[in-house]
Chains A and B, each alone.
Chain A
Amino acid sequence: MTRRFGGLIAVNEVSFDVTSGEIFGLIGPNGAGKTTMFNLMTGLTPPSSGNLTYEGRNITGLPPYKIAQMGLARTFQNIRLFGNLSALENVKISQHVHTGSGVWAGVLGLGKSKSEEQEVEHNAFELLELVGMGDKAQDKAKNFSYGDQRRLEIARALALKPKVLLLDEPAAGMNPNEKGALSDFIRMVREKFDLTVILIEHHVPLVMGLCDRIAVLNFGQLIALGNPSSVAHDPAVIEAYLGGDE
């Protein structure tokens, strides 16, 4: 896929496949085009050219909400929680696609809407427990620490019951303890929810230890693709990182 912003080519003919069930790392120096790649994959940014295929279907150009409905859920590098709402409401909101109450059913509590509402609340609490925020359910999202906000974003994405979870720098702003715990957490949710995980991360040890395969971007170009050890020894990667900002 390719994406240009004016004269800048943020993503330049990058092509890769992600296999169901794997943890796939997307790394590269700042400005390499990783977030743009995520935006292309989730429909937030339309590609300048290229195709996006998911489970054999061409989903290029679909709006974000349709892609989300198909099972791709993401977090944002620059946290985009519903800041004025409670943690609980944040996680309730992304169960939208798995519920069906219309205006009247919801307002009057008719039909299945009542049990549906209870289930939504139950699921939301369960997910908050899972990310260790069960006791903070009623607090406003914008008042949380960086680490908690990132965890809440993951809970919100999981509430979509995705098949693919895209995490954009989930460890950013976390302390070393939290970073360590994050690796185990990502493995755990992958098992528990049978997920494919695509991960953007700067923290090299975390990526190397966690990912099955890694793609390396530099200035919008895919410079390496493979398992962690082969990528780590790839001269182009070493060059990019030594010459870059790390």
Chain B
Amino acid sequence: MPAGAFYGQDPTKQNELATYFPKETVNDFFNQYGFLIVQMMLQALLGLSTYLPLMAGQLSLASPGFYALGGYIAAVISTKVLPVSGMYPVQYLLLEMLIAGVASAVLAVIVGVPALRLRGIYLALATIAFVEILRVVSLNLEITGGAVGIFGIPQPFQNSLAYALLVLPLLLIVMFFVYRLERSRIGRAFIAIREDELAADAMGINPTYHKVLAFVMGAILAGIVGAISAHFLNTWNARQGTFDASINSLAYVLIGGSRTFVGPVMGGLILTALPEILRDLKDLRLIVNGLLLTIGAIYLPQGLITPELFKRGSGRKAGKK
């Protein structure tokens, strides 16, 4: 299973992790694991970016494409357009995130309007093709550094863990956003389309508009996460937006649960941490990792987290029948 695919993105940080030693103090623990902790949150955000179109019933695997785009935008701006010596200003990073979000939204409308005519597995295939096209284009453009990519992307934070200052609030904000969205007019329209597109249509909801809207929301989020990740990983290249990454973010949703936003968040956190937790198993790691995922998929077909999980708790409190 590709949950280990994030290895090798940054060899130095990987070594940092490898020096893990159980008798660390809490502080050292955070330093050692800063990279992993932030990576878990970034992946949770990518899980949410796949969840958003799925809220409207659209199985899109396009997130890594927008993630790659956002990363290239940040990489180009910070190394070529606004090069800074020393620490990279966080305001610049925020500006990059904004630009990445806007660019992703524009591209998502262009891609989404035709692609969202397709249904189910055909949409999934089309979005994989989209990711692949972006990858090939980035391999062949000069501005993206071709096959080598872009190196030495400047750091806005002192160390890996400090990225949490940005990523944790972002994760919380996005979770709040989706939580509220699910309880609002537009979110209800999404869910209605997911449940029964034809019935939603007959109830006055424009399916195309809302499908494109959900797709665009997911794309904006993926683009923003890409912009942060480019700095976080220090280098950006065509291996960032790949089929593997598509499958990863799908796994977050499927294993975590696709019917509440808590699912992809848990999926992203757990599946990113899992290979790390299993590190002591050495070569067996990937096998055990894959086995756990398979068992999860078989015994928890709805994913780990289902809406009923929350309802059961609150229902009892309210003394419902």
Identify B189's interface contact among A73, A93, A113, CB under 8 A: A93
B195: Cβ under 8 A from any A Cβ: yes
Per the 8 Å Cβ criterion, residues 55-107 of A in contact with B are: 63-65, 68-69, 73-74, 76, 80-85, 89, 92-94, 96-97, 99-103, 106-107
Per the 8 Å Cβ criterion, residues 234-272 of B in contact with A are: 259
Tell whether, in the assembled complex, residue B184 and residue A106 are in contact, meaning their CB atoms are under 8 Å apart: yes
For the complex, what is the distance from the CA of A138 to the CA of B312, rounded to whole Å? Answer: 12
Tell whether, in the assembled complex, residue B189 and residue A76 are in contact, meaning their CB atoms are under 8 Å apart: no
User: Whose C-beta in chain A lies nearest to the C-beta of B311?
Assistant: A138
User: Whose C-beta in chain B lies nearest to the C-beta of A116?
Assistant: B185
Tell whether, in the assembled complex, residue B196 and residue A80 are in contact, meaning their CB atoms are under 8 Å apart: yes
Tell whether, in the assembled complex, residue A44 and residue B187 are in contact, meaning their CB atoms are under 8 Å apart: no
For the complex, what is the distance from the CA of A99 to the CA of B203, rounded to whole Å? Answer: 13
User: Whose C-beta in chain B lies nearest to the C-beta of A76?
Assistant: B199
In the assembled complex, the CB of A35 is this many whole angstroms from the nearest CB of chain B, namely 13
For the complex, what is the distance from the CA of A48 to the CA of B225, rounded to whole Å? Answer: 49
Enumerate chain B residues within 8 angstroms of A73, measured Cβ to Cβ: 202-203
B177: Cβ under 8 A from any A Cβ: yes
Known: A82-B195, A82-B196, A107-B181. A93 touches B186 (CB 8 A): no
Residue from A65, A81, A99 with most neighbouring chain B CB atoms (10 Å): A65
A117: Cβ under 8 A from any B Cβ: yes
For the complex, what is the distance from the CA of A58 to the CA of B191, rounded to whole Å? Answer: 31
Residue from B185, B200, B202, B217 with most neighbouring chain A CB atoms (10 Å): B202
Tell whether, in the assembled complex, residue B199 and residue A81 are in contact, meaning their CB atoms are under 8 Å apart: yes
In the assembled complex, the CB of A43 is this many whole angstroms from the nearest CB of chain B, namely 8
Known: A94-B204, A96-B205, A107-B180. A44 touches B188 (CB 8 A): no
For the complex, what is the distance from the CA of A120 to the CA of B185, rounded to whole Å? Answer: 9
A160: Cβ under 8 A from any B Cβ: yes
Residue total for A at the interface (Cβ-Cβ under 8 A): 39
User: Whose C-beta in chain B lies nearest to the C-beta of A80?
Assistant: B199
User: Whose C-beta in chain A lies nearest to the C-beta of B187?
Assistant: A106
B153: Cβ under 8 A from any A Cβ: no
For the complex, what is the distance from the CA of A225 to the CA of B241, rounded to whole Å? Answer: 63
Tell whether, in the assembled complex, residue B185 and residue A99 are in contact, meaning their CB atoms are under 8 Å apart: yes
Residue total for B at the interface (Cβ-Cβ under 8 A): 27
User: Whose C-beta in chain B lies nearest to the C-beta of A99?
Assistant: B185
Tell whether, in the assembled complex, residue B184 and residue A65 are in contact, meaning their CB atoms are under 8 Å apart: no
A108: Cβ under 8 A from any B Cβ: yes
Tell whether, in the assembled complex, residue B185 and residue A64 are in contact, meaning their CB atoms are under 8 Å apart: no
Enumerate chain A residues within 8 angstroms of B206, measured Cβ to Cβ: 63, 65
Residue-wise interface mask of B (160-198) relative to A, using a CB-CB cutoff of 8 A (1 in contact, 0 not)? 000000000000000001001100111111011001101
A42: Cβ under 8 A from any B Cβ: yes
Residue from B177, B185, B201 with most neighbouring chain A CB atoms (10 Å): B185
Tell whether, in the assembled complex, residue B203 and residue A107 are in contact, meaning their CB atoms are under 8 Å apart: no
A156: Cβ under 8 A from any B Cβ: yes
Identify B320's interface contact among A42, A76, A138, CB under 8 A: A138
Tell whether, in the assembled complex, residue A44 and residue B192 are in contact, meaning their CB atoms are under 8 Å apart: no
Tell whether, in the assembled complex, residue A65 and residue B185 are in contact, meaning their CB atoms are under 8 Å apart: no
Tell whether, in the assembled complex, residue B320 and residue A103 are in contact, meaning their CB atoms are under 8 Å apart: no
Q: Classify the secondary structure of B's interface with A.
A: helix
Tell whether, in the assembled complex, residue B203 and residue A106 are in contact, meaning their CB atoms are under 8 Å apart: no
Tell whether, in the assembled complex, residue B195 and residue A84 are in contact, meaning their CB atoms are under 8 Å apart: yes
Tell whether, in the assembled complex, residue B188 and residue A93 are in contact, meaning their CB atoms are under 8 Å apart: yes
In the assembled complex, the CB of A84 is this many whole angstroms from the nearest CB of chain B, namely 6
B207: Cβ under 8 A from any A Cβ: yes
Tell whether, in the assembled complex, residue A93 and residue B205 are in contact, meaning their CB atoms are under 8 Å apart: yes
For the complex, what is the distance from the CA of A97 to the CA of B188, rounded to whole Å? Answer: 12
Identify A101's interface contact among B185, B192, B203, B217, CB under 8 A: B185
Known: A68-B202, A68-B204, A96-B203. A103 touches B181 (CB 8 A): yes
Identify B204's interface contact among A65, A82, A116, CB under 8 A: A65
For the complex, what is the distance from the CA of A106 to the CA of B181, rounded to whole Å? Answer: 7
Enumerate chain B residues within 8 angstroms of A85, measured Cβ to Cβ: 191-192, 195
Residue-wise interface mask of A (133-173) relative to B, using a CB-CB cutoff of 8 A (1 in contact, 0 not)? 00000100000000000000000110010000000000000
B131: Cβ under 8 A from any A Cβ: no
User: Whose C-beta in chain A lies nearest to the C-beta of B179?
Assistant: A107
Residue-wise interface mask of B (302-321) relative to A, using a CB-CB cutoff of 8 A (1 in contact, 0 not)? 00000000000000000010
In the assembled complex, the CB of A218 is this many whole angstroms from the nearest CB of chain B, namely 26
Tell whether, in the assembled complex, residue B195 and residue A92 are in contact, meaning their CB atoms are under 8 Å apart: no
Enumerate chain B residues within 8 angstroms of A83, measured Cβ to Cβ: 195-196
For the complex, what is the distance from the CA of A108 to the CA of B177, rounded to whole Å? Answer: 8
For the complex, what is the distance from the CA of A80 to the CA of B187, rounded to whole Å? Answer: 19
Which residues of A line the B interface, CB within 8 A? Answer: 42, 44, 63-65, 68-69, 73-74, 76, 80-85, 89, 92-94, 96-97, 99-103, 106-109, 113, 116-117, 120, 138, 156-157, 160
Which 9 pairs of residues, A with B, have the shortest CB-CB distance?
Answer: A106-B184, A82-B195, A68-B204, A97-B204, A94-B203, A80-B199, A64-B201, A107-B180, A93-B192
List 22 interface pairs A-B (beta carbons < 8 Å), by A numbering.
Answer: A64-B201, A65-B201, A65-B202, A65-B205, A69-B204, A76-B202, A85-B195, A89-B188, A89-B191, A93-B189, A94-B203, A101-B185, A106-B180, A107-B180, A107-B181, A107-B184, A113-B185, A116-B185, A120-B185, A156-B203, A157-B203, A160-B204
